[in-house]
């Protein structure tokens, strides 16, 4: 199963970044399946899955991208998510447990916003796009390849709203410029804190290459902050 890097990073951000517009919050759900020693694919009950929290099989928390994989179908309305395990679970009653978040209103996409169709309440938004780099061999005798994928993470806010955010137990009311800084810090902290555990067996390292604020030419009420991150993959 091939899932592009921008989609994986978008899901990662959905899991670890708090949406300051609380009315768009996701809901949590846990599905149980009974293993039959034959099936390795399990369709989650609810549509519009935003991210998967955990997959527990036979009382063991399984490793994402190693012991199971999946396609959320992001951007496809009402598409359900199928989880595929890399092994066959044994026979048991409710011995497969999958917890995930779904629904709400999405604000993080592996694509650029369509400004002509978005209202003020659609912001803030985060877009994730990627640019593949050439693969090279690790050494003269190695068959493994080393590649970096450049990920553009763009934060988009407008200047119409103030948002209350909580940091270290203190509530701050942030305008659009400070909200950009807040979300940018959240994103970088998420990579520092959770990258190795979340991307285990898929990506090996990351680098923050640049951070900058820009003013889009077509709409001066929207402010953008860009984070360029390089993610290393070895295959």
How far apart (Å, rounded) are the C-alpha atoms in residues 106 and 69?
22
Q: CATH classification of 106-234 is 3.30.70.1700, yes or no?
A: yes
What pLDDT does residue 235 have? 66
Residue 228 near residue 46 (C-beta atoms within 8 A): no
pLDDT per residue as tens digits for the range 32-83: 999 999 999 999 999 889 999 999 999 999 999 889 999 886 556 667 899 9
What pLDDT does residue 3 have? 65
Domain coordinates in residue numbering, the chain: 26-102, 106-234
pLDDT per residue as tens digits for the range 37-50: 999 999 999 988 99
User: For the sheet containing 96-102, what is the strand order?
Assistant: 27-33, 96-102, 49-57, 60-61
Using alpha carbons, select from 126, 143, 124 the residue that is nearest to residue 135. 143
Q: Which residues of the chain have pLDDT under 70?
A: 1-3, 73-78, 132-142, 144-145, 215-220, 234-235
What pLDDT does residue 220 have? 67
């Amino acid at each position: 199963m091939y899932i592009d890097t921008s989609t994986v990073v978008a899901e990662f951000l959905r899991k670890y970044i708090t949406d300051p517009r609380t009315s768009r919050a996701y809901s949590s759900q846990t599905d149980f399946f009974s293993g039959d020693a034959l099936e390795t694919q399990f369709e989650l009950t609810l549509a519009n899955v935003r991210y998967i929290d955990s997959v527990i099989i036979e009382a063991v928390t399984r490793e994402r991208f190693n012991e199971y994989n999946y396609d959320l179908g992001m951007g496809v309305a009402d598409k359900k998510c199928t989880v595929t395990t890399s092994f066959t679970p044994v026979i048991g009653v409710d011995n497969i447990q999958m917890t995930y978040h779904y629904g709400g209103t999405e604000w993080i996409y592996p694509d650029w916003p369509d400004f002509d169709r978005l209202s003020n309440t659609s912001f803030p938004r985060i877009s994730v796009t990627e640019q593949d780099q050439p693969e090279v061999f690790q050494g003269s005798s190695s068959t493994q390849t080393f590649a970096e994928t450049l990920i553009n993470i763009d934060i988009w806010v407008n200047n119409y709203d103030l948002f209350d955010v909580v940091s270290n137990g203190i509530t701050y009311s942030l305008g659009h410029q400070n909200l950009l800084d807040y979300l940018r810090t959240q994103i970088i902290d998420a990579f520092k804190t959770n990258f190795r555990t979340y991307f285990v067996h898929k990506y090996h390292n990351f680098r923050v290459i640049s951070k900058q604020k820009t003013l889009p030419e077509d709409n001066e009420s929207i402010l953008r902050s860009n984070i360029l991150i390089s993610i290393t993959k070895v295959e």
